[in-house]
Structure 1
């Protein structure tokens, strides 16, 4: 019985940064605390990016094999609490910790998945 590696879960989320604090938010993320970087890495998240629009719309993206486990790891990791407490005031209308309270956006298209399905169909027709 083979155990194929579990596919990565792609996670996208949205938050609203206070437009009056955009420059400070960018500055803080230009050099995230090393302990926070290591905590994110240890949680199993990778390929993590944040995108910030001029009106404060923040879109985040990362990949993980188990988002629930990744969130639980970050919530339990003492390195994350101080960072998230410092970041919380930057967000508009957020209940709780930024990492936990961000609404997730459902994925509706992924190029590689559709190409793989297309290739599998072509192989099946041969």
Structure 2
């Protein structure tokens, strides 16, 4: 029996003049960052970007808090968050901590 996963959807705003750079960074995510995400419980992770910079992210995890705490203990996450923070408008903290979590109002099994 598999562990139930929490579905997490979030929103951030990318600076419209940085969209191409943002896309490029995500075509070349560091292998150690990908491994850290998998190892700390970030599963089925996707990012969706609108032309005006609205970014919607989605992932599944056994525990959002445990996933965030696990990433906070990795050196690669600190480096990645520092490099990604300048891409975002009005960010409070790091991208992985400062995103606006959206309320799930419907899910079709």
Could you tell me how far apart the structure 2 residues matched to 1:27 and 1:6 are? 34
Find the structure with the greater CA-based Rg: 1
Shift of 1:108: 0.4
Could you tell me how far apart the structure 2 residues matched to 1:43 and 1:98 are? 17
Could you tell me how far apart the structure 2 residues matched to 1:32 and 1:86 are? 12
Taking structure 1 as the reference length, the TM-score comes to 0.84
SS state of the match for residue 60, structure 1? strand
Which has a greater percent of helix? 1
Q: Is 2:90 aligned against 1:100?
A: no
Query: What value does the CA root-mean-square deviation take over the aligned residues?
Result: 0.9
Structure 2 residue aligned with 1:33, among 18, 30, 33? 30
- Extract unaligned runs of 5+ from structure 1: 113-126
SS state of the match for residue 59, structure 2? strand
Could you tell me how far apart the structure 2 residues matched to 1:74 and 1:7 are? 20
Which has a greater percent of strand? 2
Across the two proteins, how many residue pairs are aligned to each other? 109
Structure 2 residue aligned with 1:47: 44
- Extract unaligned runs of 5+ from structure 2: none
